[in-house]
């Protein structure tokens, strides 16, 4: 028994924040943002809109595409670093909104690698016959933990959600062929949101220190990204007796256009084999890979039988890669 992505779905909030808009908020400019990151616009949730609202709409899109009803779902996994609340899990709010009364749900926090970690759980559940139909959702409202006084981070992060429906297949020629997950707790200070948590509970001081927002050592993180993504991608490909030249499409976490291009260049993958959505989605952490996958799927970039390499890199540090036969 193998796990297979049978449909994709997404939802992006209507409100758009452009680079020009950001010029009015911090000392930055369209040219710097475009050249250094590849981002042109980003979607931002409305006041009152919560992560489970985005996740629910993305899940509905994936369910409708596959003509599957919410009652058929066994598990809902939401990868997010911006849950509706610390408790209960966002997946439970999604379950209620969907009316997926036969499912159980939980959240996963692995930052920008969250979707890949969630996909690995879905893969294991299917292989071990624990479940047959699983919604794997990446959903974020990063604008709520972004410091709009910090130009080094506020130009990068954005909101959005995407979902894949994972089902069991007995066909050996399709589905998730391999996955590799990595983390290194030595680098937890490269990117963090210190509060609220047991270390720094919510307090006036935490708010004044801006500890409730993302703090990132961008350049140090950037330097580690390309080689880490290459290493883990090569590892999963080698384990399947494959190499970069066998890949039809690489769908990467969209953290920075220069990172994706750097990986593609070293892997000798031509531009048409990479998916770039950072220009329109910016960095949506756990939602980024499924958003890019859904965009590729809906825009005719994927055909049946394609070999797809997924890879991620994120806080702090997590990184991963997977190979899928579509
Ligand atoms: N507008 C204009 N200038 C800016 C700026 C902005 N928004 N943000 C930073 N700068 C300035 C810096 O102050 C610095 O100026 P200085 O040279 O006068 O000190 C200069 O630009 C270069 O800063 P640096 O941080 O070295 O830029 P960079 O080329 O590394 O790009 C990132 C910054 C964040 C875009 C890049 O480092 C990155 O993408 N990092 C990886 C992020 C990542 O993968 N995170 C994990 C997954 S989410």
Contact 68, 74 (CB under 8 A): no
Ligand 1 pocket residue status of 217, Cβ below 6 Å: no
Statement: residue 76 has pLDDT above 90: yes
Task: Report yes or no: 320 and 232 within 8 Å, Cβ to Cβ.
Answer: yes
pLDDT of residue 323: 98
**Ligand 1 center from residue 212 Cα (angstroms):** 20
Atom of ligand 1 nearest to the CA of 313: 47
Instruction: Give residue 272's pLDDT.
Output: 96
* Residue after which a domain boundary falls, among 130, 154, 172: 172
Indicate the pLDDT class of residue 77, thresholds 50, 70 and 90.
very high
Same domain, 246 and 140: no
Residue 231: what pLDDT? Answer: 98
Q: In this structure, are 161 and 298 located in the same domain?
A: no
Shared-domain flag, residues 135 and 202: no
Does the C-beta of 67 come closer than 6 Å to ligand 1? no
3-state SS string for the chain: CEEEEEEEEEECCCCEEEHHHHHCCCCCCHHHHHHHHCCCEEECCCCCCCHHHHHHHHHHHHHHHHCCCHHHCCEEEEECCCCCCCCCCHHHHHHHHHCCCCCEEEEECCHHHHHHHHHHHHHHHHHCCCCCEEEEEEEEEHHHHCCCCCHHHHCCECEEEEEEEEEEECCCCCEEEEEEEEECHHHCCCEECCCCCCCCCCCHHHHHCCCCCCEECHHHHHHHHHHHHHHHHHHHHHHCCCCHHHCCEEEECCCCHHHHHHHHHHCCCCHHHECCCHHHHCECHHHHHHHHHHHHHHCCCCCCCCEEEEEEEECCCEEEEEEEEC
Average pLDDT, the chain: 97
State the residue range of the domain holding 257: 176-325
Query: By the 8 A CB rule, do 168 and 1 touch?
Result: yes
Query: What integer pLDDT is reported at residue 277 of this predicted model?
Result: 98
Neighbours of 18 (CB within 10 A): 13
Tens digits of residue pLDDT in 231-286: 999 999 999 999 999 999 999 999 999 999 999 999 999 999 999 999 999 999 99
Q: Please compute the mean of the pLDDT values over residues 209-217 and round it to a whole number.
A: 96
Rounded to whole angstroms, the Cα distance separating 160 from 142 reads 9
Boundary of a domain, candidates 145, 172, 199: 172
Measuring CA to CA, how many Å separate 167 from each of 44, 63, 135, 290, 298?
31, 12, 9, 16, 19
| Cα-to-centroid distance, 259 and ligand 1 (Å) | 13
Q: Which is nearest to 32 in space by CA: 126, 152, 183?
A: 152
Percent of the chain with pLDDT over 70: 100
Average of per-residue pLDDT across 69-95: 98
Q: Judge whether 112 and 285 are in contact, CB under 8 Å.
A: yes
Residue 112 pLDDT:
97
Choose the catalytic residue: 19, 43, 253, 311.
Answer: 253
The reported pLDDT for the residue numbered 230 is 98
| 247 Cβ contact list (under 8 Å, min separation 6) | 237, 267, 269, 273, 307, 308, 309
Q: How far does the centroid of ligand 1 lie from the alpha carbon of residue 152, in Å?
A: 5
Distance 226 CA to ligand 1 centre (A): 16
On whether both 52 and 161 belong to a single domain, the answer is yes
pLDDT greater than 90 at residue 113:
yes
> 129 and 55, same structural domain?
yes
User: pLDDT digit string (tens) for 45-55?
Assistant: 999 999 999 99
- Is 253 marked active-site? yes
Question: Does the N-terminal peptide bond of residue 88 adopt cis geometry, omega within 30 degrees of 0?
Answer: yes
Q: Within this chain, do residues 180 and 319 fall inside the same structural domain, yes or no?
A: yes
- Per-residue pLDDT tens over the stretch 15-28: 999 999 999 999 99
- Looking at the fold, whether 162 and 272 belong to one and the same domain comes out as no
Q: Are strands 175-183 and 318-325 parallel, antiparallel or unpaired?
A: antiparallel
From 19, 154, 256, 283, active-site residue: 283
Residue nearest to atom 23 of ligand 1 (CA): 219
Q: Domain boundary residue among 172, 207, 239?
A: 172
Domain match, 147 and 180 both: no
Whether 202 sits among the annotated catalytic residues: the reply is no
**What is the greatest pairwise CA distance in the chain?**
56
Do the Cβ atoms of 78 and 89 come closer than 8 Å? yes
Residues 6+ apart with CB under 8 A from 268: 244, 245
Residues 152-205: tens digit of each pLDDT: 999 999 999 999 999 999 998 899 999 999 999 999 999 999 999 999 999 999
Question: Within this chain, do residues 165 and 67 fall inside the same structural domain, yes or no?
Answer: yes
Asked whether the whole model's pTM tops 0.85, one would answer yes
Average pLDDT over every residue of 106-123: 98
Domains contained in the chain, number:
2
CATH of the domain at 74: 3.40.47.10
Q: Which two tokens stand for residue 30?
A: 């369209």
Q: Is 109 a catalytic residue?
A: no
CA–CA distance, 250 with 229 (Å, rounded to integer): 12
Q: For position 178, what pLDDT does the model report?
A: 97
Instruction: Answer yes or no: do 180 and 321 share one domain.
Output: yes
Compute how many other C-beta atoms are within 10 angstroms of the C-beta atom of residue 303.
9
Best of 222, 262, 292 for a ligand 1 pocket test (most atoms within 8 Å of beta carbon): 222
Same domain, yes or no, for 144 and 183? no
Over the stretch 302-315, which tens digit does the pLDDT of each residue have?
Answer: 999 999 999 999 98
């Amino acid at each position: 028994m193998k796990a297979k992505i049978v449909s994709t779905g997404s939802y992006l909030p209507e409100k758009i924040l452009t680079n020009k808009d950001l010029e009015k908020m911090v000392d930055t400019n369209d040219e710097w943002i475009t050249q250094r990151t590849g981002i042109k616009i980003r979607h931002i949730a409305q006041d009152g809109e919560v992560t489970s609202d985005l996740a629910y709409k993305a899940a509905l899109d994936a369910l409708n595409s596959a003509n599957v009803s919410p009652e058929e779902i066994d598990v809902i996994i939401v990868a997010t670093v911006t849950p509706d609340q610390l408790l209960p899990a966002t997946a439970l709010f999604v379950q209620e909104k969907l009316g997926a009364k036969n499912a159980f749900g939980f959240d996963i926090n692995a930052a920008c690698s969250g979707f890949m970690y969630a996909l690995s759980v879905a893969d294991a559940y299917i292989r071990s016959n624990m479940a047959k139909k699983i919604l794997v959702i990446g959903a974020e409202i990063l604008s709520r933990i972004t410091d709009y006084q910090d130009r080094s981070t506020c130009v990068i992060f954005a909101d959005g959600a995407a979902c894949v429906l994972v089902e069991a297949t007995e066909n050996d020629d399709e589905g998730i062929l391999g996955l590799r997950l990595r983390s290194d707790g030595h680098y937890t200070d490269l990117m963090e949101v210190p509060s609220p948590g047991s270390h720094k509970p919510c307090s006036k001081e935490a708010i004044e220190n801006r500890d409730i927002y993302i703090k990132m050592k961008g350049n140090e993180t950037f330097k580690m990204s390309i080689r880490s993504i290459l290493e883990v991608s090569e590892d999963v490909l080698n384990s399947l007796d494959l190499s970069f030249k066998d890949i039809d499409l690489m769908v990467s976490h969209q953290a920075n256009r220069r990172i994706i291009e750097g990986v593609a260049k070293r892997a000798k993958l031509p531009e048409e084999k990479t998916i770039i959505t950072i220009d329109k989605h910016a960095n949506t952490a756990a939602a980024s890979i499924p958003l890019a996958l859904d965009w590729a799927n809906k825009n005719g970039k994927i055909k049946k039988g394609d070999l797809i390499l997924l890879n991620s890199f994120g806080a702090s540090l997590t990184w991963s890669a997977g190979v899928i036969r579509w």
